[in-house]
Structure 1
Amino acid sequence: MTNHHDDNGLESTRPLTRRERRGLERLGEAQAQRQAAQKRAAEALAAEKRAAEARAAEQRAEARRRAAERRAAERRVAELRAEQQRQAAEHRAAEEARLRAQRAEAERVEEARRLEAARAEAAHLEAERREAERLAAERLAAQRRAAQEARRLEAERADEARAEAARADEARAEALRARAPRAAHRLPGSPAAAHRLPETRSSEAGPGKLRGFPGGSSDRVAPEAPPAVGGQRALGAALNRSRPRGHAALILVCLAVAAIIILPLALSIVNGKSPASTAMASPAATMLPADTPLDQAMSVSGRVGARPVVKLKAPLSAPSSLIKDTLITGEGRALQPGDAALLSIATFSGTDGKNTTTPGADSEGNEHTGRRLVSVSVDQASLNELTDIVKGTTEGTRLVLRGPVVVDGATSTEITVIDVLPTLASGTAVAPVAGMPAVIPGDSGGVTLSLAGLPAPTRSTAAVLIQGAGEQVHSDSRIIARVQAISWTDGSVITNDYGAKVLPVAVDLSNAKTYAGLRNHLVDVPVGSRVVLALPADQARGDRPVAVVVDILAIEDPKTDASGAGPGATPTIGSDPEISSPAPAATAGN
């Protein structure tokens, strides 16, 4: 039974029929099914929502992971760049410290050399002064001896004259005594006697009375002067006067000695030349021995790498073997067998110091200056006997060799001046410029160009990394250099002439085939500099932009002949002919 409402709104308590019960049951089942379907749908929706949320969470986690990885990569790149910058800064600081130390050492050595030169000059001047004093003292002593000899000779002549006069007086007195008895026998009034005696007195007595004549005081007869000899005769003849006597003769002899001895000494002192240097400069001066110390035999002027000038202090005799002197000791690397070397060589005559370097001449007959610039390898094939001389020598050194040479069938001395030039830039380090390729020094003289993500250049630019102090490059110069060029497109090396055993190359700035960027930016750069360049395609080969680093080592003299390379002396040539060509090489044994 169940309660239900009837049509009148009153609650009824009659029992349900079977149909009603089945309807109510079906109605409950349908409602339960709807509720179950709703529940399943809600559960499916919740599951789908949870899956979507899980997928979103996974996506967010993946994004966070990727962002973390990207930040880590950026951090690693930044750390790598910072490390590279730190290493570059440390290397620059170390290089600057090394260069400062080298400059300080060079200044110390130069100051010591100047002091040594000043002491040597002072010692030389003191020796000249003492030599001049000694020669003056000797000449003064010679003058005194000459004066004493003149006085002695004059005294001897006076004694001889007095003795001769005394003998003459005795002879006259004897003659008068012999005549006196004969005159006494004549008559006092005899005209002949009266006339003869006064005649005899007037003719024989002279200006004084006769010594020993009876009854009178005897005055001396004037002595006969000695004959003129030596300097007196020459002086009298030159002055066209009669021969002087007595003190006048002595005075004139002293004046003659002074004119002959003291006057040349005074003139040499006034002119600033010592008697020793005057004697050395005279045509009759003897030749110096071949092994005379270098500073006493000659002076060699001019900076290392420039044309030297030799001034001999006297001709040198021919040596029996080669003599080697180190005039300047360089501060660069020591040359080892197989290393590349850049030499400036000049030869001079040991007779007059004239430059005898074999000249090169063009078609018009114009000769280049007196030195040869050669790029060689330190081995027997390139240098022959010079290998042992150059081996172990430091770059920046000047050597002076003296050896025998046969000229016109006669053996004489040949002087050879060899400058061992640096094979890397050797100036003052300059701070790098932002936006330019980095140049990283490597081992054994090598370098590495790094673009480090720099954009390709649209215009040519250059920056000096090491500032040299040598001669400036001109637009028509042919320079000896080390060159490295890399492609900006893929970083491949186009040419590389760096390395201790790699020979430098020649770059002709007057050649239209040379990179236009090099021809434009290297003008006025001094020797010893390192320059880095960023060149667009139109300033390089025309097909791609390039980065170039150049070390300017030397400038060839005008009209230099680059031919004559001996066996093994052919230098390495850059792989890009538009940059470099062979540097001049040495003939074997030159």
Structure 2
Amino acid sequence: MNRSLIGISIAGLLTLSLAGCTPATDASGAACAPAGGASKSVRVSGEIGATDLELASSTPVRAAELERSTLEAGDGKALEPDQSVQATVTVFNGEDGKRISSQSARLTNSAGASDWASQVLRCGAQGDRIAAVVPAPDVYGEGRVAAAGVSGLTEKSSLVIVVDVREVVPGLPGLLDKKDLLAAAEGEAQPAVEGMPSVIRDGDGKLTVSVPENLEAPGEAQAAPLIIGDGETIAVGDRVYAHSVGVIWRDGTEFESTWGGEPKEFVTTGVIPGLSDAVVGQTVGSQIVAVVPASAGYGSDALVQMGFEADDTMIFVIDILGAVHPESSARE
């Protein structure tokens, strides 16, 4: 497997539009998707922001058009038009309640858009847990539900989508030209950290990652700098350019490497928490080793879909080659 997992998201669902859903209007004039019997019946178990939520309500859950209800009201401010948020989005099959996916995603409260994410966020606030019941054909397209490959889902089915609005995030930053990027991490080498994987770079720049024998994977995400660069500090919402290598803790399988190719770019608010936390606060030029268990990564469901085991821990070694803050744009 030679592909970058840093930017994996549920973009396919986020970009699909909903036809025929007419939102209501609240007292302030903001367009809100209406609540209904189906969305009001939704009950889930699990902490806000977790990727292992379970649907606790009775099934099947179906709606003729999109319905939206706030399951838990947050204590943050109401979302403003075109404001971006970092959310955990969990999708269930309304027929049997089985979880289809659960991932961290960046969503936008765009009043002019018709996609389900925008309709769900309207009239929301930071900290909310929102449930939406969406007819499956409105997501996948009329006559195309079977092609989605979700067991038991039919043209008469609905998806139950739970959105945990974790935090408001800055707007998207600009881009850097390749000529402005470092070729590799450069700076002051740091001593190895006990209990972390070892990383060796050969003369050609290739990285070898290995786990000490009999060392158990940690239960929580951990990160440590191997090289500390002297560039600017990475902040929440920055666009980061990096080379990365990823291996599975369990057996050392390398599942990605950008070395020998183009560096990857990602926004810190658009990746899994374990990677975002590892990079934010570090400096350009640094090399970071990040250990990311399923709970701080893609979640058990997504790991299995990727061909891994549900409880696999990932190791990422990241060379930070450049960064752009949201308020700046090096290239239009």
Give 1 or 2 for the bigger CA radius of gyration.
1
What is the TM-score when the length of structure 2 is the normalising length?
A: 0.41
The structure, 1 or 2, with the larger RCO (C-alpha pairs under 8 Å, 6+ apart) is: 2
Higher strand share: 2
* TM, length-normalised to structure 1: 0.25
